[in-house]
Amino acid sequence: MGTPANIIVGSHVWVEDPTLAWIDGEVLSIKNNEVHVQTSNGKKVTTDRSKVFPKDMEAPPGGVDDMTRLSYLHEPGVLQNLATRYELNEIYTYTGSILIAVNPFQRLPHLYDTHMMEQYKGADFGELSPHVFAIADVAYREMINEGKNNSILVSGESGAGKTETTKMLMRYLAHLGGRSGVEGRTVEQQVLESNPVLEAFGNAKTVRNNNSSRFGKFVEIQFDKTGRISGAAIRTYLLERSRVCQINTPERNYHCFYFLCAAPHEDTQRYKLADARSFHYLNQSSCIEVEGINDAEEYLATRRAMDIVGINEEEQEAIFRVVAAVLHIGNINFAKGKEVDSSVIQDDNSRFHLNTASELLECDCNNLEKALITREIVTPEEIITRTLDPESALASRDALAKTIYSRLFDWIVEKINVSIGQDPNSKQLIGVLDIYGFESFKINRLVFFQLFELYERPNSQNVLKQMVI
């Protein structure tokens, strides 16, 4: 194959750059498979013809709001268009029915207020500037007018803004399908308030993001024949269990641990908690506090959100007892026992945390200790109990903590679902899938199989109508 016909000497092109990813330049000469380019920063680059892409010299200075209008829909062209719009504070761009969102890393309340919702309500797709509300509106209008059930897929790398995008989608759908002037807890209020509850127990600070969802979530919002929200169901996937026991600077563990350590004195005293820095599962990272997150205030906000979604005070007490117990379990350490490959509780401090954990979990302290330092092997003939060395006991401790926390999270989700309730008579629904770590869909098919299973209903369309990246 020869050099592409649209790239000749004098052509303006894009070539790869180790710092900028792509840089523009002008072709000086072409010989066989080699293209020699003078880049805009004054360097001369020789590269393979397959790595040279034409630059659109007629592209508008402010970019285009739908990239299907680009002359060249290749990687450097797409990135240049997104960068150009980003510099103009335009964070949304369409590619057909797909919406690409670039995280602004700042609050932009004017983009998501009630006035903006009203603007997009019922507007034709593409009539207004690209926006996440437009995606939700299309899904809602097709459901109402054409009887199509739709799903909105929110995908992207950590820090891309998936969590906030999902919340905005749900807010807009609640705006369209909500009941104005209704007192008490409504379904739409419970759906929205499920977000801060799940974030408290499933989100954490990561390298790229102060509020990163460490689990996948599919929210099925059901509507009655008038288009009002009548029920909902939340399904979660792939909670990052390892984070419970192991973190590195500058990341944090799940928010709820820090919220609880910053709770009012009567609460921390009841759970026998100290400063977050005193717990092994938290102090492995030097990051304890996060700018913009007031852990004490968030603890109270989480409690209020729990009230709204239907988790009563007794259940809240049980939840935070378990959270505190996990912290205490992490502070149980072991020393070598008298027998070979055996271990014992290391010291009085570890004994205190063992006793406290058993109190909070309402289990027998001796049985908890035995479960940590021994292992039972079941054979057809008998049950064999073997002792564990200190290293194995630590692994057993961490496995217990991860299992307890994972089951707590699942219980919270199920409790929210029971409280909100599903509408068995609903024949109209919109799903919102927020999933992390699934940038390669050729490899990661699991979520899609599960997603489609949710739509095995006579009236369902089994389609992913819109995508937000």
What is the domain-level CATH number for residue 33? 2.30.30.360
> Which of the following is catalytic: 11, 149, 163, 230?
163
Residue 382 resides in a domain:
yes
- Please count the structural domains in the chain: 3
36 neighbors 29 (Cβ within 8 angstroms):
yes
Task: Confirm if 130 and 66 have CB atoms less than 8 A apart.
Answer: yes
Q: Check if 158 is active-site.
A: yes
176: nearest Cα among 118, 132, 126, 224 = 118
Query: Hunting for tokens 């303006």 — which residue is that?
Result: 12
Tokens representing residue 284 in the block: 């492995």
Cα separation, 45 vs 16, whole angstroms: 9
Catalytic hit among 95, 151, 166, 213: 213
Q: Domain check: are 174 and 214 in the same one?
A: yes
| 25 is annotated as an active-site residue | no
The verdict on whether residue 314 carries a ligand-binding annotation is no
pLDDT of residue 464: 40
Same domain, yes or no: 130 and 234: yes
Same domain, 132 and 228: yes
- pLDDT computed for residue 166 by the predictor: 92
Check whether residue 58 and residue 84 sit in a common domain: no
Within this chain, do residues 112 and 208 fall inside the same structural domain, yes or no?
Answer: yes
pLDDT of residue 180: 56
Q: Is 40 a catalytic residue?
A: no
Catalytic residue, candidates 227, 337, 421, 437: 437
pLDDT at 434: 87
Does 163 show up as a binding residue in the annotation? yes
Is residue 122 flagged as an active site residue? no
Mean pLDDT of the chain: 89
**Angle subtended at Cα 291 by Cα 290 and Cα 295, rounded to the nearest 5 degrees:** 55
Domain boundary among 418, 436, 454: 418
- CA dist list (Å): 407 to 195, 196, 218: 19, 19, 18
Are 450 and 464 contacting, i.e. CB atoms less than 8 angstroms apart? no
In a domain, 212, yes or no: yes
Residue 300 lies in a domain: no
Same domain, residue pair 104 and 211: yes
> Of the candidates 268, 287, 269, which has an alpha carbon nearest to the alpha carbon of residue 277?
287
* Residue 333 · residue 369 · CB < 8 Å: no
Tens digit of pLDDT at every position of the chain (469 positions): 344 557 899 999 999 999 999 999 999 999 988 999 999 999 999 999 989 999 999 999 999 999 999 999 999 999 999 999 999 999 999 999 999 999 888 888 899 999 999 999 999 999 999 999 999 999 999 999 999 999 999 988 878 888 899 999 999 999 999 875 455 578 889 999 999 999 999 999 999 889 999 998 999 999 999 999 999 999 998 899 999 999 999 999 999 999 999 999 999 999 999 999 999 999 999 999 999 899 999 999 999 999 999 999 999 999 999 999 999 999 999 999 999 999 999 999 999 999 999 999 999 999 999 999 999 888 888 888 899 999 999 999 999 999 999 999 999 999 999 999 988 888 899 999 987 654 444 444 444 444 444 444 444 443 344 445 4
Range of the domain at 114: 67-242+424-468
On whether 160 is known to bind a ligand per the annotation, the reply is yes
By the 8 A CB rule, do 97 and 157 touch? Answer: no
Catalytic, 439? Answer yes
Our CA dihedral for 415, 419, 420, 425, rounded to 10 degrees, sits at: 110
**So what's the pLDDT on residue 183?**
56
Which residue out of 158, 210, 211, 355 is catalytically annotated?
Answer: 158
Q: 220 a known binding residue?
A: no
Q: Does residue 107 sit in the same domain as residue 237?
A: yes
Catalytic residue among 11, 81, 151, 209: 209
Check whether residue 74 and residue 202 sit in a common domain. Answer: yes
CATH number at 383 reads 1.20.120.720
Is 159 annotated in some ligand binding site? yes
CATH classification of the domain holding 459: 3.40.850.10
Find, among 140, 220, 128, the residue nearest to 172 by Cα: 140
Task: Please identify which of the residues 11, 155, 166, 212 carries the catalytic annotation.
Answer: 212
Q: What is the pTM of this model?
A: 0.86
Active site residue 194: no
Identify whether the C-beta of residue 345 lies closer than 8 Å to the C-beta of residue 354. yes
Q: Is 358 annotated as a binding residue?
A: no
